[in-house]
A and B are shown apart, each in its own frame.
Chain A
Amino acid sequence: MLKYIKMAWLNTWRNWRRTLIAAVAIVLSLILLIFMEAFMDGTDEAIYGNVVRLYGGNVLIHAPGFRERSTRMPLLPLNNPDAVLELVRAQPNVVVASKRIITGGLVSNRNASQAVSITAIDPQIEGPVSLAAENITAGRFLLPDDRDEIVIGRALADQLDVSVGDRVSLLGRRADDTMRQHTMVVAGIFDLGLGEAEKGLLYMNLPAAQLLYNLRGHETEIAVVLQELGREDELIDAIAPALPNYEVDSIFTLRPEFAEAMSTDRAMGLVIGGIMLIMAGIGILNLMLMAVYERTREMGVLAALGMKGRQTMALFLLEGAFIGLVGAVLGCIISWLLVSAVNRTGIDLGIFSQDIGSLGEIYALMGDRLYPAMGLSTIVEYGLAAIIVAVLASVIPAYQASRKEPAESLHFV
């Protein structure tokens, strides 16, 4: 077997120019495929990571009935939230778990109005981990004694044409379904660079919201922030059995549009990349057919020596595999270097932010800079795919080589 491998390897380099051209086709396909995958992964991480930070947590716990009406953010008080908090905080990987009220409302002044998602938090607990608190550009974040103070995003402030200290009207639905309007003061403005996604966010103090919405002593949500993304299911599996009378969900269960959009993008990327790899495979098919044609007499000699058709076929398949291997190794190394280099500086999406924002909220969550992300498994997978494509492309030529009659091949000039 080793001799066949050696023979196939040496045969691969008999016409080194042709081999390199075929390998370059694979290299280019791999670079584009891996970079696209890295771009997709970076997009997913940007969106995913920002979704979690923006909407308050990896895992959210609500009273029964919330999930069904989650888009309307109903005010369903939690039963015994302190016990739930105790259970959650005892789990590994939990950074913060806190009580909240979330509801929808409308903020307005004489200039404009905007539907908002109102998040009432305990600033002492969430302040240190809040994305908004981290990015205050005017005024301050919430304080524990705040009553009428709110913190809004730059995009909303611009739309309402307000600055710190200005008053706005906040209209919301109370627990008894009556509407309540209250005048609030802008205490702080944050800027996450998320454009449209920030417009719908408004933060206020939890005790103030409890008063405003007739929920004294109650909360409607427990938000859990984890150390690592992607471990939501682990936490849910750990605590859900102990919380049968609660709805325990990951952010992606409650916002499925994000997960759907990401899977669609990824599928498109794979299709495009797959097509490119197949085109590279066609190049190898052509090269191998030429090799079979040129080496017809040689195959006749090998057959005369006693080499069987399947052994001849194995020889050509190995040669195809080696071309794929050369292309795969070079392609993976160059791809890794390219992605690593781009990852250091990121891709500036600032010039596209208007266009990206118009695609919808999910793309606004990407932010202004994108960092391609790539794992070793991605490189290995695509490298192996390239080798498989090269081998598959060699099947027809190898089969043709194996079928030739020795006498006919020996006469071939």
Chain B
Amino acid sequence: MEIIRLENVTKDYTIGEITTRALDHVSLNFENGEFTSIVGPSGSGKTTLLQIMGCLDLPDSGKVFLDNRDVTGLKKNARADLRKSMIGFIFQFFALVPVLSAYENVELPLILNNVGEKERKERVTYLLNAVGLGHRVDHRPDQLSGGEQQRVAIARALVTDPLLVLADEPTANLDTENGKMAMDIMQKLNEETGTAFIFATHDPRVVEYAKRVVQMHDGTIANANAALDLLVAAD
């Protein structure tokens, strides 16, 4: 079942007098339960693609469909409503709220969705245990290691049982062991919950886990189903 479709999407950024085309007539789709890496060199448009897919930004032209619904023309608040229930995000820099505990960070999307306290407790506890942090629920981000923070971020991304999780360079700030741990957890949760995971990355460790690889170059899709072994060989 298709969950996201981009049709001829273009996105330009203007900084000062320079306009850069970040996405150039990109058409792409993703299915339910995918575990996909989007690869490409820096500046190829990976992050911009994720932002458009995640309704964090609007394309300059083209259309975006989420769960078969045209979300291209939605206003800011409507996009926020979509994100809070249908999309989870994992960032390179962990992006936890510094003043909240691990529990409260994972709980925050449920509060935004007006979920009741009892249900919130069940869901948050389940996910923190699933990522192996059931014993660290009251710790704030400054009391957690990088790997632990990213695991909290994974739990937060999944807490609303979203349609998909978008992860932008999720292992960039993690060492080998923690990076592997994070990917193992995401792979396991992908299999258990059926939530699609789409990664923007140039980390071969992440690419190795992917069931599908989308190759980007200069804002275009070079290959929507690149062969993994060829990519690994090229690296």
Contacts and interface: CB of A to CB of B under 8 A. Distances in A.
Contacts of B77: 308-309
Contact of A306 (B51, B83, B100): B83
Contacts of B51: 406-407, 410
B83 A305 contact: yes
Nearest to B160: A306
Interface string B66-108: 0000000000110011011100010101010111100010011
Contacts of A410: 51, 56, 91
A407 B166 CA distance: 14
Nearest to A9: B99
A405 interface: yes
Interface string A298-318: 101111111111010000000
Q: Which of A300, A311, A405, A406 has the most CB of B within 10 A?
A: A406
Contacts of B231: none
Contact of A309 (B57, B76, B107): B76
A10 interface: yes
B219 interface: no
Contacts, number: 66
B84 A305 contact: yes
B2 to A, nearest CB: 23
Contacts of B93: 297
Interface in A373-413: 405-407, 410
Contacts of A311: 112
B141 to A, nearest CB: 11
Contacts of A110: none
A306 B80 contact: yes
Interface residues on A, range: 20 to 34
Contacts of B109: 305-306
A14 interface: yes
B113 interface: yes
B111 interface: yes
Contacts of B97: 7, 298, 301-302
Contacts of A130: none
A163 interface: no
Given A306-B80, A406-B56, A410-B56, A301 B111 contact: no
A309 B97 CA distance: 17
Nearest to B57: A407
A7 B89 CA distance: 21
Given A405-B57, A407-B51, A410-B56, A305 B108 contact: yes
A406 B57 contact: yes
B81 A306 contact: yes
A406 B81 CA distance: 13
Nearest to B99: A10
A3 interface: yes
Interface string A277-305: 00000000000000000000110111111
B192 to A, nearest CB: 22
Contact of A301 (B76, B85, B95): B95
B54 interface: yes
A407 B52 CA distance: 9
A306 B77 CA distance: 8
A306 B57 contact: no
B80 A14 contact: no
A306 to B, nearest CB: 2
A307 to B, nearest CB: 6
B234 to A, nearest CB: 28
B16 to A, nearest CB: 15
20 contacts: A3-B104, A3-B108, A7-B100, A300-B56, A301-B89, A302-B97, A304-B54, A304-B83, A305-B89, A305-B112, A306-B81, A306-B85, A307-B84, A308-B80, A405-B57, A405-B76, A406-B51, A406-B56, A407-B57, A410-B56
Given A304-B56, A407-B51, 4 more contacts: A301-B95, A305-B84, A305-B108, A307-B84
